[in-house]
Amino acid sequence: MTATRIGILDAEALFIRRWGEMAAGWGISRTMAEIHALLYLAPRPLCMDDMMERLAISRGNASMNLRQLVNWGLIQRLHQRGDRKEYFQAETDVWQMFETIIRERKRREIEPILDTLERCRTLVAKDRTGAGKTAAAAESYERRFAAILEFFTTMNTAFEAMFRLGPRGVSAAAKFLQEHAKKT
């Protein structure tokens, strides 16, 4: 094996490991992230057998995580003429990939918490008209629910703006914010 090939394999292994560690911190299966990382780097579509061998994972684990990655829209299933195996290929446009991840995370996590916060505020409002400790506690809860709701709403608005601006717009906005931050 040449030194260049060894460097590529080392870089691949390091990226796959770090991608898996990062995703595990987000509450996403490490194996799901490692499969995604492998497919992202792969110069050609891979079949499940290739992934199982490269990542030392079982067929069931590979199958379950591939299905989730397809459901998230991060990879696509491909068929090659004359081959009965299914092949998989990852989205390689980084902006599209992160937009897909953010949209899915919003759908699964942010939207439910926004709904929950609104319901909590409605429930607390019933006790706000009371007297004494109950009214004081209700006001305190209401302030805290309002603060966290404002945060999530602001982040939701920022993500939507990012999607509308696209890569060039986000880069320009980031440069503007960086310059503004230097002045303050």
**CATH of range 3-90; options 3.20.20.30, 1.10.10.10, 3.40.47.10, 3.40.50.11540:** 1.10.10.10
Provide the pLDDT confidence category of residue 131 given band limits of 50, 70 and 90.
Answer: low
What pLDDT sits at residue 20?
Answer: 94
**Amino acid letter for position 147:** A
Give the pLDDT band (50/70/90) at residue 181.
confident
Taking residues 111-128, report their average pLDDT: 87
Domain limits, the chain? 3-90, 94-183
Q: What is the tens place of the pLDDT at every residue in 59-104?
A: 999 999 999 999 999 999 999 888 899 999 999 999 999 889 888 8
Q: What is the pTM of this model?
A: 0.77
The side-by-side arrangement of strands in the sheet containing 86-90 is 46-47, 86-90, 75-79
Q: What is the pLDDT of residue 2?
A: 54
